[in-house]
Amino acid sequence: MDVLLTAPYSATQKALFDRLSEIIVSNLADVGVKCTIDDQHQSDTDTYRSFIYSGEYEITLGSTSSGVAAYETVFYYYVDKGYGNAWGTYSEPEFVQTYLDMMNSPDYETYNERVKALQEMAAENVIGMPLAWDKCYFPYRTDRFEGWVNYPGWGAINNSTWYTLRPID
Residues 84 and 161 in one domain: no
Radius of gyration of the chain (CA): 19
% of the chain exceeding 90 in pLDDT: 20
The contacts of residue 75 (CB under 8 Å, 6+ apart) are 99, 102, 118, 122
Residues 84 and 16 in one domain: yes
Residue 148 is predicted with a pLDDT of 87
The closest of 84, 112, 108 to 98, measured between CA atoms, is 112
Residue 37 is predicted with a pLDDT of 94
Number of domains in the chain: 2
- Domain assignment of residue 47, yes or no: yes
Among 41-50, 60-69, 110-119, 120-129, the range with the most confident prediction by mean pLDDT is: 110-119
pLDDT band for 27, please (50, 70, 90 cuts). Answer: very high
Residue 28 is predicted with a pLDDT of 93
Residues 61 and 7 in one domain: yes
Query: Of 58, 91, 124, which one is at a domain's C-terminal end?
Result: 91
Exposure string for 125-141, b = 16+ CB within 10 A, e = fewer = eebbeeeeeeeeeeeee
pLDDT band for 45, please (50, 70, 90 cuts). Answer: confident
- Domain assignment of residue 112, yes or no: no
Query: Of 35, 60, 91, which one is at a domain's C-terminal end?
Result: 91
- Domain assignment of residue 20, yes or no: yes
Residue 131 is predicted with a pLDDT of 60
Residue 153 is predicted with a pLDDT of 59
* Dihedral angle sign, alpha carbons of residues 60, 63, 65, 67: positive
pLDDT band for 154, please (50, 70, 90 cuts). Answer: low
- Do 79 and 99 touch, CB atoms closer than 8 A? yes
- Report pLDDT digits (tens) over 88-113: 778 889 998 998 898 888 888 998 89
- Domain assignment of residue 53, yes or no: yes
Query: Of 91, 118, 151, which one is at a domain's C-terminal end?
Result: 91
Domain that holds residue 7: 2-91
Q: Are strands 166-167 and 145-146 parallel, antiparallel or unpaired?
A: antiparallel
Task: Kindly report the pTM of this predicted structure.
Answer: 0.60
